Amino acid sequence: MKKKIAFFDTKPYDKRSFDSTVGIEEYEIEYFETRLTERSMALTKGFDIVCAFVNDEITAPVIDQLYANGIRLIAMRCAGYNNVDVCHALDKIRIVRVPAYSPHAVAEHALALLMTLNRKIHRAHLRTRDSNFSIVGLVGMDMYGKTVGVIGAGKIGRIMVDILCGLGMDVLVYDKYQDKAWAESKGVRYTELSEIYEKAQVISLHCPLTDESHHLINKESIAQMRDGVMIINTSRGPLIDTKALIKGLKSGKIGAAGLDVYEEEADYFFEDYSEEIVTDDVLARLLTFNNVVVTSHQAFLTEEALANISGTTLKNINTFYAGEHGANEICGNCDAGSCVRHTKRTA
Residues labelled catalytic: 236, 265, 297
How long a stretch of residues is the chain? 347
261 scored as a contact of ligand NAI (CB under 6 A): yes
* 8 conformational bin, left if phi > 0, alpha if psi -120 to 50, beta if neither: beta
CA–CA gap between residue 325 and residue 329 (Å, rounded): 7
338 scored as a contact of ligand NAI (CB under 6 A): yes
Give yes or no for a contact between 256 and 292, defined as CB atoms under 8 angstroms apart: yes
Binding residue for ligand NAI, selected from 118, 221, 234, 316, defined by CB under 6 A: 234
Binding residue for ligand NAI, selected from 56, 170, 260, 265, defined by CB under 6 A: 260
100 scored as a contact of ligand NAI (CB under 6 A): yes
79 scored as a contact of ligand NAI (CB under 6 A): yes
Size of the site for ligand NAI (CB under 6 A): 33
CA–CA gap between residue 117 and residue 324 (Å, rounded): 46
Nearest to 29 by CA among 312, 310, 305: 310
Binding residue for ligand NAI, selected from 5, 113, 153, 230, defined by CB under 6 A: 153
CA–CA gap between residue 28 and residue 103 (Å, rounded): 29
339 scored as a contact of ligand NAI (CB under 6 A): no
Give yes or no for a contact between 232 and 295, defined as CB atoms under 8 angstroms apart: no
210 scored as a contact of ligand NAI (CB under 6 A): yes
| Alpha helices, DSSP H, located in the chain | 12-19, 60-68, 86-89, 103-119, 121-129, 155-166, 180-186, 193-199, 219-224, 242-251, 281-286, 303-321, 342-346
152 scored as a contact of ligand NAI (CB under 6 A): yes
Closer to ligand NAI at the Cβ: 238 or 248?
238
How buried is residue 222: exposed, middle or buried, by Cβ count under 10 Å (0-12/13-18/19+)?
buried
CA–CA gap between residue 106 and residue 156 (Å, rounded): 7
Closer to ligand NAI at the Cβ: 118 or 308?
308
225 scored as a contact of ligand NAI (CB under 6 A): no
> What is the closest distance, in whole angstroms, from the C-beta atom of residue 77 to ligand NAI in the complex?
11
CA–CA gap between residue 140 and residue 64 (Å, rounded): 53
Binding residue for ligand NAI, selected from 35, 88, 94, 297, defined by CB under 6 A: 297
Binding residue for ligand NAI, selected from 44, 221, 235, 308, defined by CB under 6 A: 235
- Where does this chain touch ligand NAI (CB under 6 A) — which range of 141-149, 247-255, 276-284, 297-305? 297-305
Closer to ligand NAI at the Cβ: 48 or 175?
175
Residue ranges binding ligand NAI (CB under 6 A): 79-80, 100, 103, 106, 151-157, 174-177, 206-210, 212-213, 234-236, 260-261, 297, 299-300, 337-338
